Amino acid sequence: MDTFTFFFFVALLIFPSLALPQRPVIVRPNDPKKILCQLPILKQFLCPISGSTGTNRPTVLGTARGTVDSSGAYRFPVKYASAPRWGPSSLVTAWDLPNGSANVSALPLACPQPGVDPSAYSEDCLSMVIYVPPGLASNSAAPTLVWIHGGSFIIGSATGPGLDGSKLAIATNSIVAVVQYRLGTLGFMAPSGQTNLAVKDLVNSLQFLKNVVPAFGGSASKITLAGQSSGANMIRAILAVPSASSLFRSAILQSDPMNFGFLSTTTHNTLLSNYIGQLGCSASNSACLNALSLSTILSTEMTLFNNAYDLDPAAGRNQPIRPVMDGSFITTPLDSTAAFPSVNKPILVTSVSHEAGFAIYGSFTDPLPEEAFPPICDATFGSERTSTVVNSPNYTPIPSVDGSIDARSQLQVVGTDYLWKCSGWTFARTWVQNGGTAYVGQFVVGATYPGNEAVSYCTQPGVVCHQDDIQIVFGTAASPTSAQSALTTEIQKRYKAFLANNNPNVAGVATWTPATPTDVHPILLGGSGEATVGACVPSFWGSSVQYDYQIYNQ
């Protein structure tokens, strides 16, 4: 039950180019405002956009060129930063299409990752795709949603299945930016010892958006981060970066596996030392490091990924390459292992009803007898935690319709609780205790994410596996059922309200009660009422049974 790696596919879609010429600005010497308009630092604040068309937008970095997609939104692919191999990224100084392309319809290549044809990725991958709803006036001060993709920190891209932001932008009347960042060891294991390069990439992406969204009708002060799985984990890392706080005002964390926590510097250095040894280059030999092929880097990365738990159990088996609590950039673990900081940003924290379904039923393809439950738990939790879990009334055997017992059903509930659901609720309660606002939800309707159909359990009626919330949020489910369409409409209404007002409540849908330090009020998204609490009480997970970060990072 300890392995889940979800592979995203890069979609390279071709759309028609509709770039139009820019109309020049005429400045009269006796018009002080127009003279000031020529200063880039003032232009976005004082001046109307001149020569702007839907697919041709003057920005402080030059003309943004885009295209119209099939949903009617305007789409602008753009490179936001550059970076040398294993070096910090720096913001671009001019508007450029990704990968040196001259085709405004071409989407960015992914960042290097295993399991993908090399022609589909490039190290020059710090790009994003910006979606703008039609009719958004230059003075609209619209909000922006920045989506950070998941993929266990080693795979994924801005062009993954279901991540077309067009319908979401139109439904929420907001700008949607889907962002890429360096993955795997290229983003987290710099031989020099520099940490969190990928997190710093995302901070640069936020600075880029703060600079350019006014040109598209957006407000630089209304930026919300949103992401799923390791993308949500990246958001939690950014929440722990004081220097990034002014770049966004709220966050949406979907299916964040909060149980793991950030890596400690000790664990990170153990993994890094092993990785450098495998590469065969000294940490100071830049010529050797730069000469390494991407195939060598990626194959060595996967060896590290698979062996990390044996090198240091604190790394875990699921996403051992992840953000580091380095104490200088990321200054707090945002968990119970250190004093929690004072916070004030509103957040949404959601999970899905069967988060662990793909991992459990994908790993164990045949039913398991009840006696298999304790030893499988022991392999994950160790004897002390296993004893408490096995004896808990929350994880008693669940008979099937014919009365037989399949331990996979218990394992699925345990996995969902400790990796996602209960650890997310613990985080929400702590967030509220320290001054923030949190809304907690659970998706009970989903749309099977591409790849999840490989596990038949995830296609059963009423089952919502990890990632099955993505296409609901984006409105990209193929041939949606009435229940899926209804939830997409609801969640997009709620996100529109949250982006605009920091509150997901809106007329026509049930009241979403904010969490308190003692009751998170977890609304059922796609159902009615609140989710069953079960073991997600303060006295069980995080107390009687500690999370991994409590075991390893004290």
Residue 455 lies in a domain: yes
Give me the helix-helix angle, 197-212 and 230-239, nearest 10°.
Answer: 80
Residue 424 lies in a domain: yes
Q: How many CB atoms lie within 10 A of CB 479?
A: 6
Query: Which pLDDT belongs to residue 41?
Result: 41
Amino acid identity for residue 82 in this structure: S
> On the CB side of 359, how many CA atoms lie within 13 Å of its CA?
21
Question: Under a CB-based contact definition with an 8 Å cutoff, are residues 458 and 356 in contact?
Answer: no
Check whether 35 has a pLDDT greater than 60: no
Report pLDDT digits (tens) over 523-541. 999 999 999 999 999 999 9
Q: How many CB atoms lie within 10 A of CB 35?
A: 13
- Categorize the per-residue pLDDT at 53 as very low, low, confident or very high, splitting at 50, 70 and 90: low
Residue 495 domain boundaries: 346-552
Query: Which pLDDT belongs to residue 135?
Result: 87
Check whether 30 has a pLDDT greater than 50: no
- Categorize the per-residue pLDDT at 48 as very low, low, confident or very high, splitting at 50, 70 and 90: very low
Distance between CA atoms of 313 and 526, rounded to whole angstroms? 38
Q: Which residues pair with 442 in a beta bridge?
A: 351, 524
**Helices marked H in 444-481:** 470-474
Q: Which residues pair with 250 in a beta bridge?
A: 224
Q: Which residues pair with 129 in a beta bridge?
A: 77, 178
Check whether 522 has a pLDDT greater than 80: yes
What average pLDDT does the chain have?
91
Q: For residue 467, is it left (φ>0), alpha (ψ between -120 and 50) or beta?
A: left
Q: Which residues pair with 541 in a beta bridge?
A: 545
Q: How many domains does the chain have?
A: 1
Query: pTM of this prediction?
Result: 0.90
Query: Which pLDDT belongs to residue 348?
Result: 98
Report pLDDT digits (tens) over 313-363. 999 989 999 999 999 999 999 999 999 999 999 999 999 999 999 999 999
Question: Under a CB-based contact definition with an 8 Å cutoff, are residues 330 and 262 in contact?
Answer: yes
Distance between CA atoms of 64 and 77, rounded to whole angstroms? 9
Report pLDDT digits (tens) over 455-474. 999 999 999 999 999 999 99
Residue 417 lies in a domain: yes
How does DSSP assign 300-365, residue by residue? Answer: HHHHHHHHHHHH-GGG-SS--S--B--SSSS---SSTTSPPPP---EEEEEEETBTTHHHHHHH--
Q: How many CB atoms lie within 10 A of CB 131?
A: 26
Rg for the chain, CA atoms, rounded: 23
Report pLDDT digits (tens) over 173-204. 999 999 999 999 999 999 999 999 999 999 99
Query: Which pLDDT belongs to residue 402?
Result: 82
Residue 198 lies in a domain: no
Provide CB contacts within 8 A for 272, sequence distance 6+: 189, 191, 193
- Measured in whole angstroms, the distance separating CA 225 from the mean position of its chain's CA atoms is 8
For range 429-439, the mean pLDDT: 98
Give me the helix-helix angle, 265-279 and 294-311, nearest 10°.
Answer: 140
Distance between CA atoms of 120 and 100, rounded to whole angstroms? 14
- Give the SS3 label for residue 57: strand
Give 3-state DSSP helix, strand, coil % of the chain, rounded to 5.
35, 15, 45
Hunting for tokens 């926590």 — which residue is that? 261
Query: Which pLDDT belongs to residue 47?
Result: 41
Cα 399 to Cα 403, 404, 456, 526: the distances in Å are 5, 5, 19, 26
For range 248-258, the mean pLDDT: 98
Q: Which residues pair with 142 in a beta bridge?
A: 218
Residue 6 lies in a domain: no
Distance between CA atoms of 168 and 146, rounded to whole angstroms? 12
Residue 89 lies in a domain: no
CATH number at residue 422: 3.40.50.1820
The helix or strand, by DSSP H or E, that contains position 45, with its residue range, turns out to be: helix 40-46
Distance between CA atoms of 451 and 258, rounded to whole angstroms? 23
Residue 168 lies in a domain: no
Residue 382 lies in a domain: yes
